Amino acid sequence: MIVRPMIGDWELPCIERVELHQARRQVRLGVPGLLGDLHQDLGVESLAVTITGSLSGAETRSGFLEALQEQFRSGDPVPFVADIVESSELEDVVIVSFDVVETDEWVDAVRYRIVVRQYVEPPEPPPLVPELPLDDLAGLADLAGNLLDGLDLPALLGGVPALADPSEPIRPALGTARDAVADVPALLGGLREALGMPA
C-alpha cells in the first residue's frame, strides 16, 4: 500500500519526487607524516527528506502556500508519514526550508521543494540540586546526629575566659598610683600662695 507523504495532518499535493538523505558526522584529522587521514565518527545526523512537486491554479497555489507558511513559521515538530522512511525511526520532523518557483510551463504553474529534518527530543537538563533517596537522607541525618553527640562542646568551650570587670587585674596598680599622687594637692596649695593665686 502506497502512503502519500503527510506533514502532520497536511497531505502534500502533486508530489513528483521524494528523496531521503542520511549521513554520518565524520571529522577528518590530518596527521603529519601519516599516509591518509584519520577519521573520527561523531554519530549519525538527523534524517532529511526532500519533497518535490508541482501544482497549477491560482486557488490551489494560494491554499498550498498558506498551509506551507503556517507549518514553517510555527517551527513545531509534527509527525511525518511516507513510504520512504518506513524502515527508519523517523517520527517527528521540522520544516527547515522550502522553495517555491513559478514557471511558464503551463497556466499558473508552480514548482515547490520542501526539506524536512528529523526532530530529536533534547535531553532534560540536570537538576540544580541532586535528588537523594529518602533512605540516604535519613542516613545523613543519623550521621550528623552521631557527629554532634561525639563532640564534647562544653569541653571545647572550657578554655574560653569568663567575661568580667576588665579593671580587676590593674586595681593594685591603681591604688599605688593614688597613694603616690595623694600629696600633690597640698604641694600645689603652697605654690598658689607663693604666686599669689587664690585657692
Q: Residue 43 sits in a domain of what CATH number?
A: 2.40.30.200
More reliable by pLDDT, 193 or 77: 77
Residue 61 lies in a domain: yes
Residue 32 lies in a domain: yes
Residue 192 lies in a domain: no
Q: Is 87 a residue whose pLDDT tops 90?
A: no
Task: Determine the pLDDT at residue 199.
Answer: 60
Task: Determine the pLDDT at residue 117.
Answer: 92
More reliable by pLDDT, 148 or 79: 79
Q: Which residues have CB under 8 Å from 88's CB, separation 6+? A: 20, 22, 47
* Count of domains for the chain: 1
Q: Is 2 a residue whose pLDDT tops 60?
A: no
**Range with the poorest average pLDDT among 40-54, 58-72, 145-159:** 145-159
Average pLDDT over residues 177-193: 68
* Domain coverage including residue 36: 6-118
Q: pLDDT tens for residues 113-153?
A: 999 999 988 888 887 776 666 665 566 667 777 676 666 65
Kindly report the average pLDDT of the chain as a whole number. 78
Q: Which residues have CB under 8 Å from 84's CB, separation 6+? A: 5, 18, 19, 20, 49
Average pLDDT over residues 180-195: 66
For 6-48, what is the HEC assignment? Answer: EECCEECCCEEEEEEECCEEEEEEECCCCCCEEEEEEEECCCE
Task: Determine the pLDDT at residue 1.
Answer: 44
Cell of 86: 518506513
Task: Determine the pLDDT at residue 110.
Answer: 86
Residue 174 lies in a domain: no
More reliable by pLDDT, 196 or 115: 115
Q: What is the distance between the alpha carbons of residues 95 and 97, in angstroms, rounded to a whole number?
A: 6
Q: What is the distance between the alpha carbons of residues 176 and 132, in angstroms, rounded to a whole number?
A: 70
Residue 154 lies in a domain: no
Q: What is the distance between the alpha carbons of residues 79 and 88, in angstroms, rounded to a whole number?
A: 14
Overall size of the chain counted in residues: 199
DSSP reduced 3-state for 168:
helix
**Range with the poorest average pLDDT among 54-68, 127-141, 148-162, 176-190:** 148-162
Task: Determine the pLDDT at residue 124.
Answer: 85
Residue 94 lies in a domain: yes
Residue 185 lies in a domain: no
Average pLDDT over residues 176-191: 68
Q: What percent of the chain has pLDDT over 90?
A: 7
At 49, the amino acid letter reads V
Task: Determine the pLDDT at residue 113.
Answer: 93
Q: What is the distance between the alpha carbons of residues 87 and 81, in angstroms, rounded to a whole number?
A: 12
Residue 88 lies in a domain: yes
